[in-house]
């Protein structure tokens, strides 16, 4: 099994399951997000975890082709940059998340990630 297929399966299932969880428990996640943004040690730990996960994806799967594996590469870069923002630019990250939440809301973002997850599950398991 190639890295692209494996990562599509893992990331797709993760995005799908997390999105379902967030859509079913919207109020809980909204409160959790507010608490998370005010908890600096947790922000640092999640930034470090995001940094290592992003690096793992980027180093093993830095594929720039005009096909579905590009989506995995982009997700890896987003996770890497998000981890760096949580570690180095905490205030900017907090403002960005609050701004996105007030404009788009968690529901829209959850639906987008759900669709991305379903697509990755499809290409990872059935293509």
pTM for this model (two decimals): 0.89
Nearest residue to 79 (alpha-carbon basis) of 2, 5, 18: 18
Could you give the CA distance from residue 14 to residue 115 in angstroms, rounded to a whole number? 12
Kindly report, residue by residue over 9-32, the tens digit of the pLDDT. 999 999 999 999 999 998 888 888
Confidence of residue 37 (pLDDT cuts 50, 70, 90): confident
Could you give the CA distance from residue 18 to residue 101 in angstroms, rounded to a whole number? 17
Confidence of residue 1 (pLDDT cuts 50, 70, 90): low
Could you give the CA distance from residue 93 to residue 96 in angstroms, rounded to a whole number? 5
């Amino acid at each position: 099994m190639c890295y692209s297929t494996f990562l599509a399966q893992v990331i797709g299932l993760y995005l799908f399951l997390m999105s379902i969880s967030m859509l079913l428990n919207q109020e809980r996640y909204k409160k959790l997000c507010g608490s998370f943004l005010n908890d600096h040690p947790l922000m640092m730990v999640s930034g470090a975890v995001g940094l290592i996960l992003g690096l793992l994806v980027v180093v093993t799967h830095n594929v720039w082709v005009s096909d579905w594996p590009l989506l995995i590469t982009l997700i890896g870069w987003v996770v890497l940059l998000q981890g760096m923002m949580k570690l180095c630019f905490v205030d900017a990250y907090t403002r960005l998340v609050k701004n996105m939440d007030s404009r788009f809301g968690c529901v829209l973002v959850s639906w987008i990630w759900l669709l991305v997850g379903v697509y990755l599950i499809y290409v990872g398991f059935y293509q």
